A and B are shown apart, each in its own frame.
Chain A
Amino acid sequence: MADMSRRFPAFLVLALLAFMVLAPMAGLLNLGSLPGYEMTDLRFWESAYLRRVFFFSVWQALLSALLSVLPAILVARAFALQPDLPLRRALLRLFALPLVVPAVVAVMAVVSVYGSDGWLPLGRSLYGLNGILIAHVFFNLPLAVRLLLPQWQAIPRHHWLLAEQLGMNSWQRWRFLEWPMLREALPGVVLLVFMLCLTSFAVVLTLGGGPRSTTLEVAIYQSLRFDFDPARAVVLALLQLGLCLLVAVVTLKLQRLPEVEIADSATPTPITALHKALDIALILAATIYVGMPLLSVLIDALDGPVLSVLSSAILWRSIANTLLIGLSAALLSVSAGWFLLRYSAGLAYAGHTRGARLVDLAGSIVYVVPPLVIGTGMFVLLSPHVDVFDWVFPIVISINALMGLPFVIRCLGPAMRQNHARYHRLCLSIALFGWHRFRYLEWPLLRRPLGLAIALVTVLAMGDLGVIALFGSPASATLALLIYQQLGAYLIPQAAVTAVLLLLLCLVVYALLERLVGGNSDAAY
């Protein structure tokens, strides 16, 4: 019975996901009869240009993922081993910010730091793979740190004690304690960062130096917008999906689920003073790397007309819309993710590891279907029946929820699996089900990762420009859209102010959600 209650909601979520992705694609493929639309031939693999685009997409995404995640392991470890570091919590919140920065602002920020008049000028060599990697690491290194850090918290206290008694050195502790724990989360984080970089658009186009550095996402955009060739866009989107599936299969092969014990967790103290100095140096380096572009945005904003931006009525309406979209998307996304993960945790516990992975994968992989494709497809399906203007918010919210799902799965997945493995039998024996199980067992134990997931998806949706520009409605401006409008009207100083407001708002919302949902625990992660 308990099994049914897990399976049904999860299947419902999976069916909804499939519907949200496949129905719009089918809608687009079905467009043959539109006025002025003729289907072009789909033999685009014969185009040398598209072949180059394909390889470049994969190459830059792989490099970006490695350059983001490998240093992130070191930085996350340093954070884990230095629980008493001053400003630790503030730094970790800072690390949630880059993901929120709208692409165009991030490009400007990277150029402020590394451009020819920047603080660390790279000159023309910035444009090309260098610039793309710098920007992608700026976005994704801090994200990977946030997602990997909880793995250290999951190491039981007596393991650390045992390691100390055995006189293990740092390498041995890494090899026997930390690495086995990390292997559960690492492949998923690599895959997520890979997907984020694969679908990167404005960053790659602008910092890439020209069409030689282009991603498939650009080709999809071109097909759907410029050439108005929906069939080709759908085929390219499916190609991108297939590619990600392939990468997912490879990375998840490396995944090992560690044994779970019933034990409380603790953070260890580092072995030597040299170690502590090294950890601090690592954290400092990462903070400088992440902080410099953010600082440059802040400096630009302080030069700008702060008061005139603040006194605009549009700004306040945009803030309200931004919050509405962010919070609703996060709630929807976390609920969907919860049901998926509850099911996959049960599967993993019962030994069906492959099934568990498939469920998690289904939740994450939808990320790579471009929002433009889903949005346009939904438009095609809805517009004959309803007034799409009434639907702008639900569509924007549900697409943002979809885009947030992989983050929910990464944040919550390991914690829910461990929780299930530890307490499922206990729950069965004392007949703790449903609401009571959530209230008395899952909520107290899972509220921290839940808080992280909700906070992350909220700020992510708050910074998203995505589909809102596609539907367009006079009342639906968001802060990200406002920034683009200001930039388009020569109001570059104003845009810098709005960008900082967006970042501050995200910081506040993030801290509040993490505190309210995650609880007031000191061992922040």
Chain B
Amino acid sequence: MYSFLRGTGKGLALLLMSFNLQAAPPNLVVYTYDSFTSEWGPGPQVKVAFEAKCACTLELVGLSDGVAMLNRLRLEGANSRAAILLGLDTNLTAEARASGLFEPHRLKLQASALPGPWRDDTFLPYDFGYFAFVYNREKLASPPTSLRQLVDDANGASILIQDPRTSTPGLGLLLWMKAVFGDEADQAWARLSPRVVTVSKGWSEAYGLFLKGEADMVLSYTTSPAYHIIAEQDSRYAAAPFSEGHYQQIEVAGMLRSSRQKQLAGEFLEFMLSEDFQKIIPTTNWMYPAVAGDTLLPAEFAELIDPSPALLLEETQVARERKAWVDEWLEVMSQ
């Protein structure tokens, strides 16, 4: 059975490799999330653009999300084929750093578009966004203007959110509540809870339910309406600006210590900060490019709300408290 399986494995792999059997090495393997590698994500364009420069093959491996990538790397250790990991967010960087698997990038982020300074010498940002509640203008005339109003107004809008254990926006909202309410976040969750229609596994389920009209608002990104404006010419959807500010998500990439392609990996990180990569981001990943530049953003992005002030908790604090905060959330929400 062992050799049979092994044989099938090799056979199938050869069969599949024959689909894209063109280039001679070197091969640069990048682990990322699978919405990055999908046909509509940035992946295909990034691959073409980088391969035009590097005389290499860029192999993008799509895993389900940042947590899955990090776990995978921990399991593989020094045997990993990956040279780059792209798609962690700042809530995972502290843990990733502690794993000792990453190597300093030795690059400088010139002309950062991020609201704050970037001081991380292990990870480099490639895009960022802000969490927000998205609503349909035709159905909700007066959306809440602050997180506090959303939480306190007992007759307010109904919302769809995601589970912080299984979803990045879900964790984002948990931290947003902590950033705004501090130690009273649990009481705030208790007040909000009656208007939470459901807590879904991932972003897709919640957003799909929202489009089917199951709630007034859905937890998503300030940039979500840009998709509807640009791809569907539909301007009914908007993000509600909250006066406390919006919690930020910064997506980063890092280079692996165990890689044998460090030269090439460095080139990729440099490319990641270049215009060729950055201009792909807004309309494929629907996020803001990490590098400032007048030509990078489509005009429609000007219609989006101003999310300032940007909220972001310390990565070390998040790493330390995340588990306790999730347990607290579970306790309140499962009453």
Contacts and interface: CB of A to CB of B under 8 A. Distances in A.
A167 interface: no
Contact of A390 (B9, B31, B224): B9
A125 to B, nearest CB: 11
Interface stretch (A64-72, A248-256, A471-479): A471-479
Most buried by A among B41, B60, B101, B163: B163
Interface stretch (A271-279, A437-445, A482-490): A482-490
B62 A383 contact: no
B293 interface: no
B244 interface: no
A221 B166 contact: yes
A312 interface: yes
Interface in B212-250: 212-214, 224, 227-228, 231
Interface residues of A, dominant DSSP: helix
A49 B212 contact: no
A207 B160 CA distance: 11
Nearest to B76: A383
A104 B208 contact: yes
Interface string B52-95: 00000001111110011011101111010100000000000001
Interface stretch (A110-118, A187-195, A353-361): A110-118
B235 to A, nearest CB: 15
A201 B74 contact: no
A222 B167 CA distance: 11
A473 B61 CA distance: 5
A16 interface: yes
A226 interface: yes
A314 B202 CA distance: 23
B197 interface: yes
B84 to A, nearest CB: 15
A206 B198 contact: yes
Given A202-B201, A472-B34, A485-B34, A49 B79 contact: no
B308 to A, nearest CB: 25
Interface string B293-335: 0000000000000000000000000000001001101110111
Nearest to A207: B198
Nearest to A50: B330
B20 A210 contact: no
Interface stretch (B11-19, B107-115, B120-128, B142-150): B11-19
A476 B16 contact: yes
B99 A474 contact: no
B18 to A, nearest CB: 10
Contact of A37 (B31, B41, B74, B333): B74
B229 to A, nearest CB: 12
Interface string A374-407: 0010011001101101111110001000000000
B35 interface: yes
B75 A34 contact: yes
B196 interface: yes
Contacts of A115: 209, 212-214
A225 B198 contact: no
A472 B64 contact: yes
A492 interface: yes
Interface size class on chain B is: 35 or more
Contacts of B211: 492
Interface size class on chain A is: 35 or more
Contact of A228 (B74, B200, B203): B74
B10 interface: yes
Contacts of B199: 205-206, 209-211
Interface in A170-217: 201-202, 205-212, 214
Nearest to B71: A228
A470 B330 contact: no
Contact of B75 (A379, A386, A485): A379
A37 B31 CA distance: 21
Given A487-B204, A488-B204, A117 B212 contact: yes
B63 A472 contact: yes
A107 interface: yes
B310 to A, nearest CB: 24
A436 interface: no
Contact of B333 (A36, A211, A324): A211
Contact of A205 (B200, B213, B214): B200
Contacts of B158: 124
Contacts of A473: 61
Contact of A209 (B12, B197, B212): B197
B172 to A, nearest CB: 14
Contacts of A507: none
Given A228-B74, A475-B16, A205 B196 contact: no
Contact of A488 (B1, B19, B20, B38): B38
Nearest to B100: A35
Nearest to A203: B201
A240 B164 CA distance: 23
A209 B206 CA distance: 11
B75 A205 contact: no
Interface in A432-487: 469-470, 472-476, 481, 484-487
A16 B1 contact: yes
A127 interface: yes
A52 interface: yes
A314 B37 contact: no
B165 interface: yes
A224 B70 CA distance: 12
B38 A210 contact: no
Given A49-B327, A115-B212, A394 B5 contact: yes
A127 B68 contact: no
11 contacts: A127-B198, A206-B201, A212-B334, A386-B6, A389-B13, A391-B5, A391-B9, A472-B31, A474-B37, A475-B20, A487-B208
The 6 closest A-B pairs by CB, nearest first: A487-B204, A36-B99, A485-B38, A117-B213, A212-B334, A488-B35
Interface of A: 16, 31, 34-37, 48-49, 52, 104, 107-108, 111-112, 115-117, 124, 127, 201-202, 205-212, 214, 218, 221-222, 224-228, 312, 314, 317, 324, 376, 379-380, 383-384, 386-387, 389-394, 398, 469-470, 472-476, 481, 484-492
Given A34-B75, A202-B201, A472-B61, 19 more contacts: A36-B99, A49-B327, A107-B209, A115-B213, A206-B209, A208-B198, A211-B163, A211-B334, A212-B333, A218-B165, A218-B166, A226-B165, A227-B323, A317-B19, A389-B81, A485-B39, A485-B40, A488-B202, A489-B38
Interface of B: 1, 5-6, 8-10, 12-13, 16-17, 19-20, 31, 34-35, 37-41, 59-64, 67-68, 70-72, 74-77, 79, 81, 95, 98-101, 158, 163, 165-166, 193, 196-209, 211-214, 224, 227-228, 231, 286, 323, 326-327, 329-331, 333-335
